[in-house]
Amino acid sequence: MKKKFKEILHTILHGNGTPHDVAFASALGIFIAFFPIIGTHTVLALALAWVFRVSPVITLGASWVNNPWTIAPICGATLYLGVLVTGADISEVTINWGSLHWEAFLQIIKIIGVPFVVGGLLAGAVLSVATYFIVLRAVKVYRSRITAPTQ
C-alpha cells in the first residue's frame, strides 16, 4: 500500500498539465471518494475527468481514498455528519439480517438515505476544496524546486 501511495503521489507531482489542472483533478477525485452511491466511484471518476478534461489517472487515484480499508470509517463519518446536519433520528433503525426483505430494505434506505447523501456531499465538497488548495500549493512548490537551478 505504501508503494501504491508513492506511485500516486509521483503521478500527481509529475503529472502533465498546469498546477491548477493537477489540483482540480485531485479535488474532483476526493469529491468522488465521498460520493454516497457506493460502487459508482471508478466510472464516475473516469467520466468526470473526461468531462472536465483533467487527468483520469490523477482523478481515479484520488477517488481511491475510498477503498476497502477506508469505506467503513468514511461511510460512518458521512452518515454521522448527515445526521448532525439534517437532525434525522436514526435510532429506530434495526436490521434483522435473517428476515430482510425488499420493503424493509427500502424503509431503512428511507430513514438513513437522506442523512447519508447529505453527509457525503457535504464532506466531499469541503474536503475537495481543501484538497484543491493543498495540492495546488504542493505542486507549485515541488515543481519550482525541481526546476530551480542548483548552485
Q: Where are the domains of the chain?
A: 2-147
Q: Which residues contact 40 (CB under 8 A, 6 or more apart)?
A: none
Residue by residue, pLDDT tens for the chain (151 residues) are 677 777 767 777 776 789 999 999 999 999 999 988 878 889 999 999 999 999 998 899 889 888 878 888 999 999 999 999 999 888 877 777 777 788 878 888 888 888 999 999 999 999 999 999 999 999 999 888 877 666 5
Within 10 Å of residue 24's Cβ, how many Cβ atoms? 24
- pLDDT given for residue 1 in this prediction: 63
Q: What is the sign, positive or negative, of the torsion defined by CA atoms of 29, 33, 39, 44? A: negative
Q: Measured between alpha carbons, how far apart are the two ends of the chain, in Å? A: 37
DSSP letter, residue 66: S
What is this structure's pTM? Answer: 0.82
